[in-house]
Amino acid sequence: MSGSDLVVDLGSTRLAWRGPGGAGSALHGGDPGGVLRRALGGRSPPRSVVLGSVADSGTTANLHRGCAETWGVPVRDLTAAREALGVRNGYRAPARLGIDRWAAAVAAHAGYGGSVLVADCGTAVTVDYVDAHGLHHGGAIGAGLMLSRDALTAGTRLRLDRGDAAVPPGSLGTDTETSVAVGTLAAVAGMLELIRRDVEAAFRAPATLLITGGDAAAVRGRLPPDWLEVPGLVLDGLELLAGVTP
C-alpha cells in the first residue's frame, strides 16, 4: 500500500488506523503521534494522513506533530457536515456532531441501506439512527464499560484487584470484580436495547442493528443475535468522507 493515505480514528483513550503497513489500534496515553511512529515509522510513508478526532486539542495536536516529524506529510482533519454521501445530519449545529458518529452513520448508510441503528462502544457509548431516506435523527451518549467501572469504583471507594473480568452470558458475579463487570455490561447492553425498542416503536420500522468500537465484542455477547458486529466502521466512514483510495 505504498503511497496510500493513512486514515486515523482518534478517540479519548484509543486510536485506530488503516493505511500503509496495515491496520491497528492501541491505547494512546495522550501520545498518539508516538504510538503511530512506533507502529509505522519504519514502513512506507503515507502520501497524507486523514484524521477524525474527538480527543482534546492537546492530544490532537500531538498527533499532528508526530505525523509531521515522522513523515512530513499533511494531516487533513475531518468534521461532520450538514450532508454527505446521501446522509443528512440531524444536529441543529451539524459540526458539533462527533466525527466518529458521523463517519459511522455514513458508512452504515452506504453499506447497509434502509434504516440503521449504529452503536459505537468505546470510552463513551454512542448510538445514532439513520432512516431509509438518509436522515440522521440524532442519537444518545452514555458511559462505556471502563468509564462506568472507573466511576463506580471512585464513587464507592471499591478496591478491585484486576481489570474487567470475563463474563459468560447469563452469569452473575461471585466476587466484586465480576459483579462490577456484570453490572457495567448489563448497563450498556440494556441501554442499546432500550434505544432500539424506542426507535423501532417511534418510526414503526425495524432497523439494521450495528455495533462497532473497542468494546463491541464484549457488549455484543450480551445482546440478541440480530445485532451485527462491524469492526472498523468509523474508519470505513472516514475513508468514504475523505474519498480515500488504496
Which of the residues are catalytic?
100
Q: Are 66 and 81 in contact (CB under 8 A)?
A: no
Other CB atoms within 10 Å distance of the CB of residue 34:
18
C-alpha cell at 6: 493513512
- Taking the C-alpha atoms of residue 134 and residue 137, their distance in angstroms, rounded to an integer, is 9
- Hey, which bits of 96-214 come out as E strands? 116-121, 124-130, 136-143, 208-212
> Quick one: which of 122, 10, 21 has its CA closest to 63?
10
